[in-house]
Amino acid sequence: MKYAFVLGRVYTLSVAELVAVLEKPDVSLGLTGAPVKVLESSPEVMVIESEAPINAEKMQRKLGGIIKILEVVDVVKKREADSVNFALKHYFKPSVLKKQFFKEYKGKVQFGLSIYLLNMDLLKGPVRQPGKESDFGHSNNIFSEPKRLGMMIKKGLTETGASVRLVLPEFNSLALASVVVTKNLLLQKGAEICILAGNDVVYTAKTIAVQDFEDYGRRDYQRPARDEKQGMIPPKVAQIMINLANCKPNDTILDPFCGIGTLLQEGILLGYKMLGSDINKKAIKGSEQNLEWFRNRYKISPGKYHLETADAREIPKLLAAQKVCAVVSEGTLGPIYGSYPKQGEIEQNFKDLTSLYQDCLKEFANLLPSKGRIVMCIPAYKKTRETYEMLPSLDFIKPLGYNLVDIISPNLAKKMKFLKLTDRSTAIYDRKDQVVAREIVIFEKI
């Protein structure tokens, strides 16, 4: 079976998380351990082939970096010079739509139309090739394709007597946001039809799961304690990091810089036992409030987490009897800046943090098993839109008994040239208004 995963804004992290989950057997997700093949990929979407059906709704809840999960219905050949609309002009017959795309629903059928690009060069529009027949319609602009294709489908349905409502992407957009799909009840009252367009092939697909934006909002903004001054890791990114830790259900994960508990709550929701500590008593109090709210809101059974007020360097001694699968933490990023700091400040911050990281990693080694991972954020100062000042070297981890793990395997990274990886094969998460971005690293105990 073929599926497609719509990637989040920081698509490199989305790919890293998705591959980590797909590679690990999990019967509850429909992952039997049989190899999953990546067929196509772009900054927008990744198409895979699986031997067994996946549990899309459960997988969607697990993946912080995936916006939608699609079931691929068909593969249609396309000439490079042809528009998407032209390639599919005879495809969407009413009988095909009712059988392959729409759910049984009494009443007005509502459907949406989204296009995702497997080749971003298609944004430039098709190029007419001499001697080859092609049909561009009234516009070479790819952004006109959803409306043209959607109206063609709607016309075919209304001619059969069906009552139909079409939902289209916003101006200068090719795809519907998950909020639009959800609020228009497209999956309940019809379908979101998705077109995955490449140079010589078009995949037709239907959305079978969408990210629950409302629930992420609750988990982020409705908690009783927040700390805007220090900045907080978003729940989606916390999920991604936990999924990169390579732990099994019910394993125990430690966050030794837990702050107000975002990573702890996301770990609990993913089925892990969580240990949290922070040197800041106020942060631990906030974490206690948030986790109590979280436990009640999501009906979490008692005993899923434990908190300590402690220096991260001391926590292994307090937890000596605990078996910890991994350490997953935002860590400490040093001072927060509103504008780019002086070079001397950056160098001093890196020096201080390297000393702290060395001390902590040395102690964490006493808790972790062989191959146990540390997934953490370290600071990367944003110089321009695409360049960062990063910790000069991570070689200090080797004498402590760790290797640096590529966040995406070299073989896969070679095939996916669009990925934004650092020179040391880590990934950056940032926001437009942040000076201090997060470099996400994975260390593995030898």
CATH code at position 416? 3.40.50.150
Per the CB < 8 A criterion, the answer to whether 14 and 7 are in contact is: yes
Among candidate residues 193, 211, 229, the one where a domain is terminated = 211
104 pLDDT band, cuts 50/70/90, is: confident
Per the CB < 8 A criterion, the answer to whether 142 and 122 are in contact is: yes
Q: What angle do CA 116, 429, 384 make, to 5 degrees?
A: 95
| Ramachandran sector of residue 101 (left: φ over 0; alpha: ψ -120 to 50; beta: rest) | alpha
Q: For residue 69, which of 89, 80, 55, 90 has the smallest C-alpha distance?
A: 55
Per the CB < 8 A criterion, the answer to whether 65 and 236 are in contact is: yes
The Cα 243–Cα 240 span in angstroms is 5
Higher per-residue confidence, 338 vs 46: 46
Considering the domain architecture, whether residues 162 and 235 belong to the same structural domain is answered as no
Q: For residue 202, which of 88, 323, 304 has the smallest C-alpha distance?
A: 88
Considering the domain architecture, whether residues 300 and 164 belong to the same structural domain is answered as no
pLDDT in tens, 50-103: 999 999 999 999 999 999 999 999 999 998 888 899 999 999 999 999 999 998
- Residue 319 is predicted with a pLDDT of 85
Among candidate residues 161, 190, 211, the one where a domain is terminated = 211
- Give me the domain span that covers residue 280: 220-445
Considering the domain architecture, whether residues 202 and 292 belong to the same structural domain is answered as no
Considering the domain architecture, whether residues 93 and 197 belong to the same structural domain is answered as yes
- Residue 64 is predicted with a pLDDT of 98
Burial of 58 (0-12, 13-18, 19+ CB in 10 A): middle
Query: Average of pLDDT values for 121-130?
Result: 62
- Residue 138 is predicted with a pLDDT of 35
Considering the domain architecture, whether residues 90 and 186 belong to the same structural domain is answered as yes
Per the CB < 8 A criterion, the answer to whether 182 and 210 are in contact is: yes
Higher per-residue confidence, 315 vs 68: 68
pLDDT in tens, 232-257: 799 999 999 999 999 999 999 999 99
Considering the domain architecture, whether residues 243 and 204 belong to the same structural domain is answered as no
Considering the domain architecture, whether residues 55 and 142 belong to the same structural domain is answered as yes
- Residue 385 is predicted with a pLDDT of 86
Considering the domain architecture, whether residues 388 and 427 belong to the same structural domain is answered as yes
**What is the token pair recorded at 246?**
């390579």
Q: H/E element holding 61?
A: helix 56-62
Taking the CB of residue 24, how many other CB atoms lie within 10 A of it?
14
**Residue spans of alpha helices (H) in 225-334:** 235-243, 262-269, 281-297, 315-318
pLDDT in tens, 294-304: 999 999 998 99
229 pLDDT band, cuts 50/70/90, is: low
Considering the domain architecture, whether residues 161 and 268 belong to the same structural domain is answered as no
Query: Please, what is the end-to-end C-alpha distance for the chain in angstroms?
Result: 37
pLDDT over 70 percentage in the chain: 96
Per the CB < 8 A criterion, the answer to whether 316 and 367 are in contact is: yes
Q: Please state the domain count of the chain.
A: 2
Considering the domain architecture, whether residues 238 and 205 belong to the same structural domain is answered as no
The Cα 152–Cα 92 span in angstroms is 8
106 pLDDT band, cuts 50/70/90, is: confident
Considering the domain architecture, whether residues 13 and 67 belong to the same structural domain is answered as yes
pLDDT in tens, 15-53: 999 999 999 999 999 999 888 999 999 999 999 999 999
- Give me the DSSP letters along 104-120: P-SS-EEEEEEEEESSG
Q: For residue 360, which of 247, 246, 443, 287 has the smallest C-alpha distance?
A: 443
Query: Average of pLDDT values for 207-223?
Result: 96
The Cα 119–Cα 142 span in angstroms is 12
The Cα 38–Cα 51 span in angstroms is 12
- Residue 163 is predicted with a pLDDT of 92
Query: Average of pLDDT values for 346-368?
Result: 96
How much is the mean pLDDT over the chain? 92
Among candidate residues 192, 211, 230, the one where a domain is terminated = 211
Interacting residues of 417 by C-beta distance below 8 A, sequence separation 6+ = none
Q: What is the CATH number of the domain that holds 204?
A: 3.30.2130.30
- Residue 341 is predicted with a pLDDT of 96
- Residue 140 is predicted with a pLDDT of 53
Considering the domain architecture, whether residues 342 and 259 belong to the same structural domain is answered as yes
Burial of 271 (0-12, 13-18, 19+ CB in 10 A): middle
228 pLDDT band, cuts 50/70/90, is: low
pLDDT in tens, 134-184: 333 334 578 999 999 999 999 999 999 989 999 999 988 999 999 999 999
